[in-house]
Amino acid sequence: MTLTILFAAGANRWPLWESPLRRALHQAGIAADLVTEAAPEAVDVMIYAPGGDTPADFTPYTRCKAVLSLWAGVERIVGNQTLTQPLCRMVDPGLTQGMVEYVVGHALRAHLGVDALSQTRWAPKIPPLAAERPVAMLGLGALGAACGEALACLGFPVLGWSRTAKDVPMIECHHGREGLRMVLEQAQIVVTLLPATPATENILNAETLSWLPEGATIINPGRGTLIDDDALLAALDAGRVGSATLDVFRTEPLPQGHPYWAHPRVTVTPHIAADTRPSTAATVIAENVRRLRDGEPLLHCVDRSAGY
Ligand code: NDP
Ligand code: OXD
């Protein structure tokens, strides 16, 4: 049986994805017609990315058995009421490795005080060892757990926080409101790797930021909605928060004139923390298509009620 797979993830991505996808589908033994256009009723599987050519109305895709997201974050599609098929998010070794490198790099930058190193005067200031710098990892999913483990391997005490109770090697795990407070009260570096859902909106706000030790660093590669921007700017100005490295924003691109651009202790990166890599992620897509064909459970299915 030949499956019609619609690549509805943006014409700009097609040249990057076409060959890796064809190769991965072939290696998985899947007979597929991989196309960028098709009659809706002929589509068996749809590959999706936000801002791509994804339809707003999935109703005509009567044969479509699954929508496979190239992104890990699915907040722009998860609430679509016309989407009744299973939705799978991206968990890709290349994406995870990119995020680990971003988080570890910026955590070490904050830990070593790299931004404050002076080239003009001899003023030794010895940073503590990582063991004396607790890190809060908000989110212990595919990305948070991997980043937490990498930081723990460097010697940082890592306190993790998730929605449900978890047991992650090398991470002291907490959940619930009290857990959040316990984690933040100890954290000198906070990393936010939570999905954008109604429950996580403004999780870092005036109250929760006030739980942090003075001078803590925030690293947010999760989503812009996780942070109350006014509260963060106030906490930075008050010294409660020492610095922030922000990769994601409520409005992207971050508008010119936004206070984050000019703030001396804010680093803006343009949503580049981690990218889905076609070379590794095409295999993940092909594996889910194979599972679909063989009637096996799909990987990384989104829980619609939880929103991620
Ligand atoms: P996962 O779904 O694997 O993990 C999400 C984690 O967040 C889980 O541990 C989950 O808890 C926790 N969580 C969700 N809701 C809550 C809540 N209300 N309270 C406490 N914890 C909660 O996602 P990933 O790790 O793969 O990705 C995380 C996010 O990173 C994505 O949603 C996306 O927004 C962002 N991202 C950003 C990128 C960038 O380049 N900037 C690239 C890729 C992703 P539990 O374990 O209990 O379910
Ligand atoms: C994602 C992202 O969610 O790149 O995959 O932000």
Check pocket membership of 277 for ligand 1, CB cut-off 6 A.
no
Domain containing 14 equals 3-92+276-294
Residues 248 and 258 in one domain: yes
Average pLDDT over residues 218-244: 98
Check pocket membership of 163 for ligand 1, CB cut-off 6 A.
yes
Cα-based angle 101, 115, 139 (whole degrees, multiple of 5): 40
Q: What are phi and psi of 177, to 5 degrees?
A: -60, -45
Residues 31 and 117 in one domain: no
> Which whole-number Å values give the CA distances from 13 to 2, 47, 55, 165, 271, in the listed order?
24, 11, 16, 37, 16
CA distance 88 to 75: 12
**Longest distance between any two alpha carbons in the chain, whole Å:** 71
Ligand 2 atom at minimum distance from 70 CA: 5
User: What's residue 160's pLDDT?
Assistant: 98
Percent of all residues in the chain with a pLDDT value above 90, rounded to a whole number: 94
303 found inside a domain: no
CA of 281 to the centre of ligand 1 (A): 18
CA of 308 to the centre of ligand 1 (A): 7
Residues 282 and 191 in one domain: no
Ligand 1 atom at minimum distance from 199 CA: 18
Which residue lies with its CA nearest to atom 2 of ligand 2?
71
Check pocket membership of 140 for ligand 1, CB cut-off 6 A.
yes
Of residues 292 and 52, more confidence is placed in: 292
Check pocket membership of 96 for ligand 1, CB cut-off 6 A.
no
What residues contact 184, with CB distance under 8 A and at least 6 apart?
136, 190, 208, 211, 212
pTM over the 0.85 mark: yes
Of residues 121 and 164, more confidence is placed in: 164
Banded pLDDT at 257 (limits 50, 70, 90): very high
Residues 74 and 131 in one domain: no
Q: What is the pLDDT of residues 23-43, one digit of tens each?
A: 999 999 999 999 999 999 999
User: Is position 304 annotated as part of the catalytic site?
Assistant: no
CA distance 103 to 95: 12
Q: What are phi and psi of 245, to 5 degrees?
A: -115, 115
Which residue, among 113, 167, 157, 112, has the nearest Cα to 136 in the 3D structure?
157
Q: What is the pLDDT of residues 95-146, one digit of tens each?
A: 999 999 999 999 999 999 999 877 788 888 888 999 999 999 999 999 999 9
CA of 116 to the centre of ligand 2 (A): 31
Mean residue pLDDT across the chain: 97
> Which whole-number Å values give the CA distances from 116 to 93, 151, 239, 268, in the listed order?
34, 22, 15, 17
Give the ligand whose atoms come closest to the C-alpha of residue 249: 1
Q: What is the pLDDT of residues 283-295, one digit of tens each?
A: 999 999 999 999 9
Residues 252 and 119 in one domain: yes
171 found inside a domain: yes
220 found inside a domain: yes
Looking at the structure of the chain, the number of domains it has is: 2
308 found inside a domain: no
Residues 77 and 105 in one domain: no
CA of 238 to the centre of ligand 1 (A): 29
CA distance 191 to 163: 16
197 found inside a domain: yes
CA distance 181 to 79: 30
Check pocket membership of 73 for ligand 2, CB cut-off 6 A.
yes
Are residues 82 and 161 in contact, defined by beta-carbon separation less than 8 angstroms? Answer: no
Residues 224 and 76 in one domain: no
Check pocket membership of 142 for ligand 1, CB cut-off 6 A.
yes
Strands 241-246 and 216-220: parallel
pLDDT for 68 beyond 80: yes
Residues 135 and 81 in one domain: no
Residues 157 and 251 in one domain: yes
Which residue lies with its CA nearest to atom 6 of ligand 2?
73
CA distance 182 to 114: 28
Catalytic residue among 271, 277, 290, 304: 271
User: What's residue 196's pLDDT?
Assistant: 98
306 found inside a domain: no
76 found inside a domain: yes
Are residues 49 and 25 in contact, defined by beta-carbon separation less than 8 angstroms? Answer: no
How many CA atoms, within 13 angstroms, populate the side-chain half-sphere of residue 188?
17
80 found inside a domain: yes
Instruction: For the beta carbon of residue 115, count every other beta carbon within 10 angstroms.
Output: 12
CATH of the domain at 38: 3.40.50.720
Which residue, among 252, 192, 194, 200, has the nearest Cα to 50 in the 3D structure?
252
Residues 281 and 144 in one domain: no
Check pocket membership of 72 for ligand 2, CB cut-off 6 A.
yes
User: Is position 223 annotated as part of the catalytic site?
Assistant: yes
Residues 111 and 254 in one domain: yes
Residues 27 and 104 in one domain: no
CA distance 50 to 272: 15
CA of 200 to the centre of ligand 1 (A): 10
Task: Sort 38 into a burial class: Cβ within 10 Å, 0-12 / 13-18 / 19+.
Answer: middle
CA of 23 to the centre of ligand 1 (A): 30
User: What's residue 122's pLDDT?
Assistant: 86
Check pocket membership of 148 for ligand 1, CB cut-off 6 A.
no
Catalytic residue among 111, 133, 174, 223: 223
